[in-house]
Amino acid sequence: MKKAISFYPGPSRVDHRIPMYVRDAYDNGILSINHRSETFVKMYSQTVDLLKEKLDIPEEYSVFFTSSATECWEIISQSLIHTNSYHFYNGAFGKKWFEYTKKLKPYAIGYEFDLEQELKTGELDLSSEEGVICITQNETSNGTHVDNGRIGKLRKKYPKHLIAVDATSSMAGIHLDFSQADVWYASVQKCFGLPAGLGVLICSPTAIDTAKKLNENKHYNSLSFMIDMEAVRQTTYTPNVLGIYLLMRVLKRRKHIEKVEKKLHKRLKMYEEIFSEDERFSFLVKNKKVRSETVVVVKGSKEDIISVKEKASEAGLILGNGYGPYKETTFRIANFPALEKQEVKKLLKFFKKYFQPEKQE
Ligand SMILES: *Cc1c(COP(=O)(O)O)cnc(C)c1O
């Protein structure tokens, strides 16, 4: 049986060359290399160079490998937040980040905002001149995002604070202005199109200075240790070497992020056309300014959602379930780069037929 095409927004459709790359890794002995070896050091450097080139990351930023985005929540809490942190969120992932932080740093403050609203940049209770502002650039649970312009405004308004950004489901899919924030992170099982088990953490020179000043050193993944190891292009523990290798191979073939973004824009438009016409289904988020470009969230009645997912599955297409409070009243579509043109076409065709059966012969 042919395997179904997954439109799940993470773990998601992997790059179709992964099997070949895994074979190459095995044949070239990559799977058993020592993580202190010259081969590893070279691979680390090359992967970082590729990330910077393809994603437009400033040269002076540092790149670290972690196990996941969740680990990055912890690293930021323990190693970059001294006392204060300010969390803006409107969905499940941003909220989780806030809640985990609060357990480690009790002065964390959460600001929940409405789904349809742009992130407000003027409402921090500035009891302190320092601290970390935490935002979720792309909220995978409800399909909202904070655009580069907004992050830039935040940067201007709070020049002395560190800004940390969860870009887990958008990094490598859309163009991010890395210069406007200090900490960015993502897991590779979303827009990078890789199997899960690797995270990428990107830090500005200011973030590195802050970590060095705080010098928190109680954990295997204390950022101060990670910085020491990164200086020699190594990691604090035996990392996911295969994951890093696959990331390097996938990036080598990836077009520059501006081209990738264009491709995803075009696809998003096609989804918008379909869902703006239907009576049963519509976008969960009405305000286009805050709508995610990589995670499409469509709402409908419980019955319609069950039915469309079933019909899609029969056609060999897996739609993502809704998340958290939207579990039963939405489905999600990953608008990720690893999905092939033919696969997106197939999904669009399915929707057209499903929504307007009378228009097909
Ligand atoms: C998927 C996701 C995470 C968690 O990623 P893990 O790899 O499971 O740690 C965190 N934040 C956002 C926005 C996500 O989409």
Tell me, yes or no, whether 322 and 199 share the same domain. no
- Identify the pLDDT of residue 359: 55
Q: What is the pLDDT of residue 358?
A: 63
Tokens of 223: 């950022």
Q: Are residues 154 and 142 in the same domain?
A: yes
pTM: 0.96
Please tell me whether residues 219 and 248 are part of one structural domain: yes
For the chain, list residues with pLDDT below 70: 1, 123, 125-128, 357-361
Over the stretch 191-228, which tens digit does the pLDDT of each residue have? 999 999 999 999 999 999 999 999 999 999 999 999 99
Whether the CB of 70 sits within 6 Å of ligand 1: yes
User: Is residue 10 in contact with ligand 1, taking CB distance under 6 Å?
Assistant: yes
- CATH code at 269? 3.90.1150.10
Instruction: For residue 136, give the ligand 1 atom closest to its CA.
Output: 13
Tokens of 79: 């190693």
Domain span at residue 321 reads 5-13+256-360
The pLDDT value recorded for residue 361 is 46
pLDDT of residue 98: 98
Sheet of 199-203: strand order equals: 62-66, 199-203, 183-187, 162-166, 132-136, 85-89, 109-112
CATH number at residue 116: 3.40.640.10
Domain-terminating residue out of 253, 269, 291: 253
pLDDT score recorded for residue 1: 62
C-beta of 169 in contact with ligand 1 (< 6 A)? yes
Question: What percent of the chain is helix, strand and coil (3-state, nearest 5)?
Answer: 45, 15, 40
| Strand pairing report for 162-166 and 199-203 | unpaired
Question: Are 18 and 219 a contacting pair, CB within 8 Å?
Answer: no
Parallel, antiparallel, or unpaired for β 109-112 and 320-321? unpaired
Domain count, the chain: 2
Q: What is the pLDDT of residue 357?
A: 65
Mutate to test the pocket of ligand 1, among 184, 187, 189, 297 (most ligand atoms within 8 A of CB): 187
